[in-house]
């Protein structure tokens, strides 16, 4: 179990999970009903199963690439800790469990479940033909707030869509920062990424613009949420402000000639930002 949790980097679930919780509780608040803890559990399970399937599939598909990269050759599949067949079986199991959970949520989520899997699994192929792969990764995680909202209400709305836009650009931007570590390797293997295509400085500038877009979406979403849920106020804006400050902070940590703090920017800063934002907003919606 420990090896499989490491394979999918289970701790990284913290990136998108708080936004799924925001989508869920926004849906509950806007719909005006009581909290369905059964649906809450199903949403959490959907997040876990979809992300586990996506990460394991990425590791399975990239096993030869990972084996050739000094930074990633210690990962479970190239290191021989988990066999390729076992990893693929793990992917299939998580896909089946994800679809099964959507069946118990509502028909719309069930019929959209293959689309969600197509996006989150399809990302793994994109680095082979486009430097927009970071945006596709962001798109996969951006399904979290919309999916959770649909689980509660059964229909689309601007608030979760705006938060999805924020997640898309946020994730794409910090994935560009993370990819700086593999610029030379990606170029040597003819793999596509923004750092290998635009260079470190150009990629960091694009990441900055993406995160400016994130800030715009976050502010717009907060304004719509205040209108739809009048009980929200200073906690929502405090959570949004903290998130954006930490978003800006990571760009002070990473420089084109100094990548020593990439992991601090990628893992710690973004994880804390998402967790604090989600906590502030959910508390505001429930009080």
What is the mean pLDDT of the segment spanning 22-30? 93
6 domain residue, yes or no? no
What is the mean pLDDT of the segment spanning 132-141? 96
Residue pair 67/168 in contact by the 8 Å Cβ criterion: no
- The sign of the dihedral angle between the CA atoms of 66, 71, 74, 79 is positive
1 domain residue, yes or no? no
188 domain residue, yes or no? yes
Task: Give the pLDDT of residue 4.
Answer: 78
Task: Give the pLDDT of residue 31.
Answer: 79
8 domain residue, yes or no? no
50 domain residue, yes or no? yes
Mean pLDDT across the chain, nearest whole number? 93
190 domain residue, yes or no? yes
In order, the DSSP letters of 83-94 are: -HHHHHHHHHHH
Per-residue pLDDT band for 117 (boundaries 50, 70, 90) equals very high
Per-residue pLDDT band for 265 (boundaries 50, 70, 90) equals confident
Task: Give the pLDDT of residue 10.
Answer: 66
Q: Which domain holds residue 256?
A: 14-24+31-286
Better-scored residue on pLDDT, 32 or 283: 283
> 255 forms bridges with which residues in the sheet?
258
Residue pair 223/159 in contact by the 8 Å Cβ criterion: no
What is the mean pLDDT of the segment spanning 239-267? 89
Task: Give the pLDDT of residue 198.
Answer: 96
Task: Give the pLDDT of residue 11.
Answer: 67
In order, the DSSP letters of 198-233 are: HHHHHHHHHHHHHHHHHHHHHHHHHHHHHHH-TT--
49-58, 140-149, 264-273: range with lowest mean pLDDT: 264-273
pLDDT by residue (tens digit) across 39-88?
999 999 999 999 999 999 999 999 999 999 999 999 999 999 999 999 99
Per-residue pLDDT band for 229 (boundaries 50, 70, 90) equals confident
Per-residue pLDDT band for 1 (boundaries 50, 70, 90) equals confident
pLDDT by residue (tens digit) across 165-222?
999 999 999 999 999 999 999 999 999 999 999 999 999 999 999 999 999 999 999 9
Percentage of the chain beyond pLDDT 70 is 99
Task: Give the pLDDT of residue 144.
Answer: 96
* CATH code: domain of residue 209: 1.10.357.140
7 domain residue, yes or no? no
108 domain residue, yes or no? yes
Nearest to 181 by CA among 150, 148, 204: 204
Q: What's the total number of domains in the chain? A: 1
d(CA 153, CA 143): 15
| pTM for the full predicted model | 0.94
172-175: long-range contacts (C-beta < 8 A, 24 or more apart)? 172/134, 172/135, 172/137, 172/138, 172/210, 173/134, 173/138, 173/206, 173/207, 173/208, 173/210, 173/211, 173/214, 174/207, 174/250, 174/265, 174/266, 174/270, 175/134, 175/137, 175/138
């Amino acid at each position: 179990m420990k090896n499989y949790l490491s394979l999918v980097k289970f701790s990284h679930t913290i990136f998108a999970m708080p936004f799924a919780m925001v989508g869920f509780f926004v849906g509950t608040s806007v719909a005006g009903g009581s909290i369905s803890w059964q649906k809450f559990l199903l949403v959490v399970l959907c997040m876990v199963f979809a992300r586990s399937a996506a990460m394991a599939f990425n590791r399975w598909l990239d096993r030869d690439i990972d084996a050739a990269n000094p930074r990633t050759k210690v990962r479970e599949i190239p290191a021989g800790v988990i066999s390729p067949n076992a990893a693929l079986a793990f992917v299939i199991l998580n896909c089946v469990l994800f679809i099964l959970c959507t069946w118990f949520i509502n028909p719309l989520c069930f019929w959209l479940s293959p689309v969600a899997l197509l996006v989150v699994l399809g990302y793994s192929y994109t680095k082979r033909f486009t430097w927009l792969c970071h945006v596709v990764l962001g798109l996969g995680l951006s399904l979290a707030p919309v999916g959770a909202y649909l689980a509660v209400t059964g229909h689309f709305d601007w608030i979760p869509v705006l938060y999805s836009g924020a997640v898309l650009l946020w994730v794409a931007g910090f994935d560009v920062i993370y990819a700086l570590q593999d610029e030379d390797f990606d170029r040597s293997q003819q793999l596509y990424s923004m750092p290998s295509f635009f260079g470190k400085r150009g990629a960091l500038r694009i990441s900055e613009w993406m995160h400016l877009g994130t800030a715009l979406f976050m502010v717009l979403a907060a304004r719509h949420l205040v209108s739809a849920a009048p009980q929200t106020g200073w906690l929502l804006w405090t959570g949004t402000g903290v998130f954006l400050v930490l978003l800006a902070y990571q760009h002070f940590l990473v420089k084109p000639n100094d990548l020593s703090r990439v992991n601090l920017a990628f893992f710690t800063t973004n994880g804390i930002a998402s967790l604090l934002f989600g906590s502030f907003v959910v508390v505001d919606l429930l009080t």
